């Protein structure tokens, strides 16, 4: 059986060695699981009470008086604040990526299924949105409505949207050129049916991959925003704000700045490794680098 | 070819108009400036009167076109909050940020060029994995963490360089450089790690090409074959990425400028957002987004003009 010239096979071409998940994916998954676990555990247990101030041991080093990672300048336990801060990070990320995925997937599928002219219009609009990175959108929203977790989530979500639209569109175009979609068309299935029955299941892997990469960017953006004081309010612990507070104490207690910084870098690394590994596995054909 | 260029120009103009409309619409605040000018003493009548006097309740299209006409000339009006003319202020800040971003990109390229090439050539070998791993870690480090660590080491511990501040290059070039080294490195490390991955994949793409296999078959070492034939081709996607990422770098400068108290456009934007000075935010965002769109348009056009494959296609 010969495929039409335009058809690009979705499956991995014959001869491509099967690529097992590399060790890096498991490292990434492990990091993500560890951070998620820390966030969940923080609801039930933390080394110290969140509001407890240890005046006797301010800006203390790691291990002092039972503080695993030491204390900050007013005696708050850093490990505790990191655990609770993980909640903020994960929560903002989930909502932001959720906004981008839920809005971006249908737009991407439509852009991949409509006639090239309309597809071009959607992609140009997408490119305009691409000129507004998360931080810029967040500053715009903060100027208009005041900085808050909500404006941060919306800004990061909208900024992640173009990435989803692009990836899902290119996936959809590949699916639309397969024989089974041709067969479904011949059988009289209409576009919405094809989108739901054939396109969506086949691009779902891409959604997961893109979500993982977008999550990494969302964490960086959230940290940047709370570093500038435009994210979570001062009463809610967040890694970015902890880092900003530590900046003024760099000469006295440099380690205070190191821990939240490491937490951010570790979280981003985890999601990046996970996304990259899944990308290699889920579909080498569908995605560029 | 001509038609293709005209098409791109049209896309650029339409995108720029769409973006400006979006910016004006999102940051339009109705009568709020009149309200805050009068403060608590403002009665609804006096607010309405001042609003009309300030021209804030004219029809939306009229206000937009009026603003756009000014913005196109770099005139963004006078801030209701600070009372300063926004246009000249933005120009001054942009000049400062220009130096910051230029140096940052140079540092990023100096890091990404050699490392990306090396990591592509060593692909599949332990040293290749090590380099990829390092760039992965670099991507995960936020620019402000890099900045804080650099300040800690070079300003606090070693006391070699100033921890913050800015000196105009014309006033004292040496002090200017001393103040800019740490910001440049902060911006450059992080962008360099991102770029390394693009350079690596661009070089890997070229390594798989037939002409490089031919060059290798003629007896060139992988490195020389790449240097002579591959780099020129690999440079195109990398430059495209820099063009596309420029706005991210410009906005990323917000945080770097805040840490190092550099009076650039990023600091201006963050300060204006904090004071909720919508008119200034409008002006700065408009400037940044127009720069982003213009650069990606120019990169697009350059791509058309440079790529020999597209040239022959047009000649035919």
Q: What is the pLDDT of residues A165-180, one digit of tens each?
A: 999 998 899 888 888 8
How does residue B48 score in pLDDT terms, banded at 50, 70 and 90?
A: confident
CA distances to A204, A209, B284, B287 from B91, rounded to whole Å, are 46, 41, 10, 9
Closest Cα in chain B, distance from residue A225 (Å): 9
Percent of chain B with pLDDT over 90: 4
The residue-averaged pLDDT of A179-195 equals 88
Give the chain A residue nearest B258 (alpha carbons): A228
**Cβ-Cβ contacts under 8 Å, A246 against chain B:** 148
**Cβ-Cβ contacts under 8 Å, A144 against chain B:** 26-27, 29, 276, 278
Lowest mean pLDDT among A14-23, A178-187, B17-26: A14-23
The residue-averaged pLDDT of B273-291 equals 88
Lowest mean pLDDT among A1-5, B11-15, B98-102: A1-5
Taking CB atoms and an 8 Å limit, are B285 and A224 in contact across chains? no
> pLDDT at position A108, please?
94
From the candidates A17, A139, A141, A253, which should be mutated to test the interface with B, based on the most B CB atoms within 10 A?
A: A139
Most confident of A76-85, A98-107, B163-172: A98-107
> Which residues make Cβ contacts (< 8 Å) with residue B100, sequence separation at least 6?
B180, B183, B184, B187, B253, B256, B257, B262, B264
SS3 of residue B221 by DSSP: coil
**Cβ-Cβ contacts under 8 Å, B145 against chain A:** 243, 261, 264-265
**Torsion angle of the four alpha carbons A134, A135, A140, A145, in this order, in degrees rounded to the nearest 10:** 90
> pLDDT at position A19, please?
55
Closest Cα in chain A, distance from residue B220 (Å): 28
Closest Cα in chain B, distance from residue A146 (Å): 7
Tokens representing residue A245 in the block: 């507070």
> pLDDT at position A91, please?
92
If one compares B15 and A48, the residue with the highest pLDDT of the two is B15
> pLDDT at position A283, please?
56
- Whether pLDDT at B233 is above 70: yes
- Whether pLDDT at B309 is above 70: no
The residue-averaged pLDDT of B26-38 equals 77
Say if A25 is an interface residue toward chain B (CB within 8 Å): no
**B240 CB neighbour count, 10 Å cutoff:** 17
> pLDDT at position A21, please?
64
The residue-averaged pLDDT of A195-202 equals 88
Closest Cα in chain A, distance from residue B295 (Å): 11
Say if A10 is an interface residue toward chain B (CB within 8 Å): no
- Whether pLDDT at B8 is above 90: no
Most confident of A63-67, A138-142, B237-241: A138-142
Q: Which of B250, B131, B256 is nearest to B184 (CA)?
A: B256
How does residue A237 score in pLDDT terms, banded at 50, 70 and 90?
A: confident
- Whether pLDDT at A36 is above 90: yes
> pLDDT at position A15, please?
42
How does residue B311 score in pLDDT terms, banded at 50, 70 and 90?
A: low
Say if A216 is an interface residue toward chain B (CB within 8 Å): yes
pLDDT digits (tens, 9 = 90+) for B75-131: 888 887 777 888 888 888 888 898 899 898 899 889 888 888 888 888 778 887 788
- Whether pLDDT at A11 is above 50: no
> Does the interface predicted TM-score (ipTM) exceed 0.90?
no
Do A134 and A156 meet the contact criterion of CB atoms below 8 Å apart?
A: yes
Taking CB atoms and an 8 Å limit, are A250 and B156 in contact across chains? yes
Do A10 and A174 meet the contact criterion of CB atoms below 8 Å apart?
A: yes
> pLDDT at position B310, please?
58
Share the mean pLDDT of chain A. 82
**Count of alpha carbons within 13 Å of B242, Cβ hemisphere only?**
21
Percent of chain B with pLDDT over 70: 96
Lowest mean pLDDT among B86-90, B160-164, B233-237: B233-237
Taking CB atoms and an 8 Å limit, are A269 and B136 in contact across chains? yes
pLDDT digits (tens, 9 = 90+) for B180-210: 888 998 888 888 888 888 888 888 877 777 8
Across the interface, which of A125, A131, A224 has its CB nearest the CB of B289? Answer: A131
The residue-averaged pLDDT of A2-28 equals 55
- Whether pLDDT at A97 is above 90: yes
Taking CB atoms and an 8 Å limit, are B26 and A224 in contact across chains? no
Say if B29 is an interface residue toward chain A (CB within 8 Å): yes
Q: How many Cβ pairs closer than 8 A exist between chain A and B? A: 126
**Cβ-Cβ contacts under 8 Å, A276 against chain B:** 136
Handedness of CA B132, B138, B141, B142 (dihedral sign): negative
How does residue B40 score in pLDDT terms, banded at 50, 70 and 90?
A: confident
Closest Cα in chain B, distance from residue A189 (Å): 35
> Which residues make Cβ contacts (< 8 Å) with residue B183, sequence separation at least 6?
B100, B103, B104, B147, B256, B257, B260, B262
Helix (H) or strand (E) segment spanning residue A43: helix A23-44
Give the chain A residue nearest B202 (alpha carbons): A289
> pLDDT at position B197, please?
81
> pLDDT at position B274, please?
84
Across the interface, which of A132, A146, A261 has its CB nearest the CB of B145? Answer: A261
Helix B265-275 / helix B231-259 crossing angle, nearest 10 deg: 40
d(CA B229, CA B206): 9
Taking CB atoms and an 8 Å limit, are A143 and B281 in contact across chains? yes
């Amino acid at each position: 059986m010969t495929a039409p010239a335009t058809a690009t096979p979705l499956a991995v071409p014959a001869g491509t060695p099967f690529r097992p998940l590399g060790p890096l994916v498991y490292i990434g998954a492990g990091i993500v699981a560890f951070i998620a676990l820390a966030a969940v555990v923080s609801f039930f247990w933390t080394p110290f009470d969140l509001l407890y101030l240890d005046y006797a041991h301010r800006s203390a080093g790691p291990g002092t008086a039972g503080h695993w990672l030491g204390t900050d300048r007013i005696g708050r336990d850093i490990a505790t604040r990191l655990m609770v801060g993980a909640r903020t990070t994960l929560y903002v990320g989930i909502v932001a990526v959720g906004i981008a995925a839920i809005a971006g997937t249908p737009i991407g599928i439509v852009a991949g299924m409509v006639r090239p002219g309309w597809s071009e219009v959607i992609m140009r609009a997408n490119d305009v949105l691409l000129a507004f990175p998360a931080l810029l959108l967040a500053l715009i929203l903060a100027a208009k409505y005041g900085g808050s977790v909500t404006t941060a989530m919306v800004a990061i979500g909208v900024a992640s949207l173009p990435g989803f639209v692009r990836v899902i569109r290119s996936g959809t175009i590949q699916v639309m050129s397969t024989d089974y979609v041709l067969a479904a068309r011949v059988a009289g299935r209409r576009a919405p049916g094809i989108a739901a029955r054939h396109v969506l299941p086949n691009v779902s892997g891409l959604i997961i991959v893109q979500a993982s990469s977008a999550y990494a960017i969302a964490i960086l953006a959230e940290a940047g925003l709370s570093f500038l004081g435009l994210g979570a309010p001062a009463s809610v612990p967040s890694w970015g704000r902890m880092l900003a507070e530590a900046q003024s104490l760099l000469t006295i207690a440099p380690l205070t700045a190191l821990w939240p910084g490491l937490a951010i870098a570790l979280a981003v690394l985890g999601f990046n490794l996970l996304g990259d590994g899944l990308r290699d596995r889920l579909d080498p054909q569908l995605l560029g680098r | 070819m001509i038609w293709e260029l005209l098409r791109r120009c049209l896309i650029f103009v339409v995108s720029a108009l769409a973006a400006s409309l979006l910016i004006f619409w999102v940051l339009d605040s109705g009568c709020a400036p009149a309200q805050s000018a009068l403060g608590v003493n403002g009665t609804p009548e006096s607010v309405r009167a001042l609003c009309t006097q300030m021209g804030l309740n004219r029809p939306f299209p009229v206000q937009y076109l009026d603003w756009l006409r000014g913005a196109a000339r770099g005139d963004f009006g006078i801030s209701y909050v600070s009372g300063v003319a926004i246009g000249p202020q933005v120009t001054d800040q942009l000049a400062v940020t220009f130096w910051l971003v230029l140096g940052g990109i140079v540092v990023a390229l100096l890091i990404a060029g050699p490392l990306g090439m090396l990591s592509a050539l060593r692909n599949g070998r332990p040293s290749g994995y090590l380099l990829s791993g390092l760039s992965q870690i670099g991507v995960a480090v936020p620019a402000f963490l890099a900045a804080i660590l650099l300040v800690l080491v070079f300003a606090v511990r070693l006391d070699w360089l100033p921890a913050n501040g800015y000196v105009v290059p014309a006033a004292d070039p040496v002090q200017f450089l001393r103040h800019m080294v740490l910001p440049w490195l902060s911006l450059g490390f992080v962008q360099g790690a991102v770029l390394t991955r693009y350079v690596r994949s661009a070089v890997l793409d070229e390594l798989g090409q037939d002409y490089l296999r031919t060059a290798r078959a003629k007896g060139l070492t992988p490195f020389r074959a790449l240097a002579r034939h591959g780099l020129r081709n690999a440079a195109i996607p990398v430059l495209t990425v820099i063009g596309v990422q420029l706005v991210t770098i410009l906005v990323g400068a917000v945080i770097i400028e805040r840490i190092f108290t550099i009076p650039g456009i990023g600091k201006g934007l963050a300060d204006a957002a904090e004071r909720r000075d919508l008119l200034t935010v409008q002006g700065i965002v408009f400037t940044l987004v127009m720069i982003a769109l213009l650069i990606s348009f120019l990169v697009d056009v350059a791509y058309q003009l440079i790529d020999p494959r597209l040239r022959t296609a047009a000649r035919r």
